[in-house]
Copies of this chain bind each other. A is one copy, B any other.
Amino acid sequence: MDNAVAALEHDRGRLGRSSTAERVADILRDRIAEGLFAPGQRLSEEAIGAALGVSRNTLREAFRLLGHERLLEHRLNRGVFVRVLSAEDVADVYRVRRVIEGAAVRNSPRAAPEAFAAIRETVADALRAAREDRWQDVGTANIRFHQTLVTLNGSPRLDETMRQLLAELRLVFHVMENPRAFHEPFVARNLELLELMEAGRVAEAERALEDYLDDAERLLVRAYTPHP
């Protein structure tokens, strides 16, 4: 029985999690991710506060949270705006991804086997979604692939950093008018990367990752600048 009580320790994380401000932040984060609030759009305190039925003070706390996640931009005395990523921002995000995901690949020989199973699951999800023409879901699965890849580092902080980077990228994915053309080619490449790692061919995996990130970045910035 003492043992059963000790087991509860594990569930403690689920306890604290609530507070109006955080729940408001969750809602807004989702809406931004799905593009309902477009980048550059201003979020009025009064309008949103009224819509969600929370006071301005509480809403401002939520804004602060999202501001620190770089999803909102706070301009003094002018309000909060959905973040607009510059081409330079996109380049920087990919710079960081190369560092963090590259480290994950290099660390893959020392990673726990369960982690690979989790990665394989995201590939399966992507393949299934692709078969059923759900290209938005393919994109989501691809994102989860890379999020899970980072867990090979075994570092909660790197996981959190990656989570934030991918949230930022979602701000930009909406400029791709053709989700299929953007997401489809990467499914096979993710699978290839996974199998290289499982085979212990680290150098090749590292190279595959580099190519992947180079291509993805190129596609994004091309769609981002007025086409030549």
Q: Are B76 and A18 in contact (CB under 8 A)?
A: yes
* Bound-complex Cα distance A16 to B99 (A): 31
Residue of B nearest to A102 (CB): B103
In chain A, positions 147-178 with a C-beta closer than 8 Å to chain B are: 153-158, 161, 165
Q: Do residues B155 and A92 form an inter-chain contact, with CB atoms below 8 A?
A: yes
Cross-chain contact A158 with B64 (CB below 8 angstroms) = no
Min CB distance A226 to B, Å, is: 21
Q: Which residues of B contact A99 (CB under 8 A)?
A: 99-100, 103, 153, 155, 158
The verdict on A76 contacting B158 (CB below 8 Å), with A99-B153, A103-B103, A153-B99 known, is no
Q: Does A3 contact B (CB under 8 A)?
A: no
Contacts of A75 in B (CB 8 A): 16
Count of interface residues, chain A, beta-carbon cutoff 8 Å: 28
Interchain nearest-CB distance for A211 vs B (Å): 18
What is the minimal beta-carbon distance from A112 to any residue of chain B, in angstroms?
Answer: 15
Given A57-B57, A61-B64, A64-B61, CB of A158 within 8 Å of CB of B16: no
User: Are the C-beta atoms of B64 and A16 separated by less than 8 Å?
Assistant: no
A189 to chain B, nearest CB (A): 22
A65 sits at the interface (CB 8 A)? yes
Query: Taking beta carbons and an 8 Å cutoff, which residues of A are in contact with B?
Result: 16, 18-19, 57, 60-61, 64-65, 68-69, 75-76, 92-93, 95-96, 99-100, 102-103, 153-158, 161, 165
Name the 6 nearest CB pairs between A and B, nearest first.
Answer: A68-B68, A99-B103, A95-B155, A64-B64, A16-B76, A96-B157
Q: A93-B157, A161-B161 are in contact. List 7 more A-B contacts (CB 8 A).
A: A18-B76, A61-B64, A68-B68, A95-B158, A96-B161, A99-B103, A99-B153
30 contacts between A and B (CB under 8 A): A16-B75, A16-B76, A18-B76, A19-B76, A57-B57, A60-B61, A61-B61, A61-B64, A64-B64, A64-B65, A64-B68, A68-B68, A68-B69, A92-B156, A92-B157, A93-B157, A95-B153, A95-B154, A95-B157, A95-B158, A96-B155, A96-B158, A96-B161, A99-B103, A99-B153, A99-B155, A99-B158, A103-B103, A157-B165, A161-B161
